[in-house]
Amino acid sequence: MANRDSETLLSARRDRVMARWDLKDEIVLVRSGSVLPMAGSDMEHSFQPHPDFAYLSGRGIPDAVLAFDALQDQWQLFGPRSTPDDQVWHQPADPIGVPLEELEGWIALRTEQTVLEAWDDPKIQAGIAAERIHKDELELSALRSAAATSKSGFDWVYQNVAAGMTEREIQVGMEAEFFRAGAVRTAYPSIVATGPNGAYLHYFYGQDDSLNPSTRTLQKGELLLIDAGGEFGGYASDVTRTMVVGAEPTDVQSFLWQVVLSAQELAIDRCRPGQEWREIHLDSARTIGSGLLELGLLRGEVDQLVSSGAVALFYPHGLGHLIGLTVHDAGGYPAGREPSSHPQSRYLRTDRPLEAGMITSVEPGIYFIEALLADPAVRERFAEEVVWDAVEPLRGFGGIRIEDDIHITDAGPEVLSEDIGKPIRIG
Ligand SMILES: [Mn+2]
């Protein structure tokens, strides 16, 4: 699969990581991981390689090990070989590297050298993460292809979804298009949430009870929130659109949708090298807070409403996260930064200055979350700041989120998912 150009890029990645590790004579083992058995059966979960292994080797095979000998400045890939018996049941595994059986002997030859397991060693992980945040040409190409698969799925939604369809019908119709367009799998379980379900940030099909999956039917005039994306070449795409189905949006739907869109557009415009992510996030909360004030759901002054946590009742999550080999990618918190306890920032997955080469999602939202709005302690704490009588009719409204994937460049933000339309109404 890997051609000469990609081998050159992979080798350059390994060189950069090695320089960051700054080792003397240690051995580093980067393992791909093993397939996991399913409880109570002889089946296995689908395999996903450890992203550090995938990044450094360009391969996604189970039970493989990429080893580095710092004394010799030498990398060696070890891969499993399938037996004739295995081959009765499965196609032969790609014979990558030298046979895995040789790993033990390879280590035994290096008696004086300390063995570092990449999974357990923060210094080794930090060195890889510091490189993974900057995407090279090979990665950008995979990320663009992943976004293209997502576009096919969302286009299907725009052309086919109507009131009366179940969440399941919408999900499988959309995912079929991801796969037709080349996606290897979905980048994460697709969130297809109708009406009130849109308020669950990580709502997905069958989550509550795998034996009794959701069959909720989309009603005319309800919001449909879809957060989904295809994965290509190991790289994720992560896109959210929210639309009203089968009717003209109400004034409130339309107003809140525009507030989320403008929060997103303002944030995307600031996705430039040197910008502090936490500041962009807090400004997105101010935009959303101002919208909630204007609609009469909050009272007071916007900075105070952000710092008290009143805005976080309606926008509890972070503005976005790095994207790459995993949908919530490595490197969000550089050394020395810890997650904050600020009520508006405690779920921030990234807190760092942006740098060219990063990919980040930008995904503000507004939700009416029953667990927060129905809590007597919350209602008491925010008695002054939240206009509870005005919020009451919006319980059950669901949520609105709009999300795109942004490539940070010196020339300004490049929106990888920009071809995916943002209709406020479909069907
Ligand atoms: Mn996301």
Distance 10 CA to ligand 1 centre (A): 27
Distance 7 CA to ligand 1 centre (A): 30
Are 364 and 293 in the same domain?
Answer: yes
Looking at residue 210, its pLDDT comes to: 65
Residue with tokens 């910008």: 275
Domain that holds residue 376: 137-426
Question: Are residues 374 and 404 in contact, defined by beta-carbon separation less than 8 angstroms?
Answer: no
User: Which of the listed residues 86, 104, 132 is the one where a domain comes to its end?
Assistant: 132
Looking at residue 208, its pLDDT comes to: 62
pLDDT, average across residues 124-132: 96
User: Which of the listed residues 132, 155, 175 is the one where a domain comes to its end?
Assistant: 132
pLDDT, average across residues 361-366: 98
User: Which of the listed residues 132, 159, 190 is the one where a domain comes to its end?
Assistant: 132
Are 152 and 279 in the same domain?
Answer: yes
- The pair of structure tokens assigned to 230 is 């295809």
Residues at Cβ < 5 Å from ligand 1 ion: 238, 361
Looking at residue 212, its pLDDT comes to: 66
Question: Are residues 418 and 403 in contact, defined by beta-carbon separation less than 8 angstroms?
Answer: no
Q: Which amino acid is at 48?
A: Q
Mean pLDDT of the chain: 95
Question: Are residues 35 and 29 in contact, defined by beta-carbon separation less than 8 angstroms?
Answer: no
Distance 320 CA to ligand 1 centre (A): 6
Judge whether residue 91 has pLDDT over 90: no
3-state secondary structure of 308: helix
**How far apart are alpha carbons 140 and 230 in whole angstroms?**
15
**How far apart are alpha carbons 148 and 295 in whole angstroms?**
36
Judge whether residue 253 has pLDDT over 60: yes
Are 391 and 251 in the same domain?
Answer: yes
Distance 102 CA to ligand 1 centre (A): 41
**How far apart are alpha carbons 356 and 225 in whole angstroms?**
31
Pairing of strands 414-415, 404-407: antiparallel
Are 166 and 104 in the same domain?
Answer: no
pLDDT, average across residues 394-412: 98
What lies within 8 Å, CB to CB, of 409 at 6+ separation is 356, 357
DSSP 8-state assignment for residue 353: B
Strand partners, 239: 228
Distance 204 CA to ligand 1 centre (A): 14
Q: Tell me the pLDDT tens digit for each residue of 277-318.
A: 999 999 999 999 999 999 999 999 999 999 999 999 999 999
Q: How many residues does the chain have?
A: 427
Looking at residue 215, its pLDDT comes to: 72
pLDDT, average across residues 395-411: 98
Looking at residue 213, its pLDDT comes to: 63
Are 85 and 145 in the same domain?
Answer: no
The domain that contains 413 carries what CATH number? 3.90.230.10
Distance 198 CA to ligand 1 centre (A): 14
Are 121 and 171 in the same domain?
Answer: no
Judge whether residue 389 has pLDDT over 70: yes
Distance 229 CA to ligand 1 centre (A): 10
Distance 329 CA to ligand 1 centre (A): 10
Distance 196 CA to ligand 1 centre (A): 20
Distance 304 CA to ligand 1 centre (A): 27
Residue with tokens 């397991």: 117
pLDDT, average across residues 173-177: 98
Distance 130 CA to ligand 1 centre (A): 21
Q: Tell me the pLDDT tens digit for each residue of 30-88.
A: 999 999 999 999 999 999 999 999 999 999 999 999 999 999 999 999 999 999 999 99
Are 37 and 81 in the same domain?
Answer: yes
Are 90 and 195 in the same domain?
Answer: no
Neighbours of 404 (CB within 10 A): 27
The domain that contains 123 carries what CATH number? 3.40.350.10
Are 154 and 173 in the same domain?
Answer: yes
**How far apart are alpha carbons 363 and 374 in whole angstroms?**
25
**How far apart are alpha carbons 110 and 103 in whole angstroms?**
11
Count of domains for the chain: 2
Strand partners, 28: 68, 116
Distance 378 CA to ligand 1 centre (A): 27
Are 32 and 153 in the same domain?
Answer: no
Q: How confident is the model at residue 331 (pLDDT cuts 50, 70, 90)?
A: confident
Q: How confident is the model at residue 1 (pLDDT cuts 50, 70, 90)?
A: very low
Are 87 and 115 in the same domain?
Answer: yes
Looking at residue 414, its pLDDT comes to: 98
Ranking 49-58, 146-155, 221-230, 336-345 by mean pLDDT, the lowest is 336-345
pLDDT, average across residues 83-94: 88
Judge whether residue 169 has pLDDT over 50: yes
Are 11 and 111 in the same domain?
Answer: yes
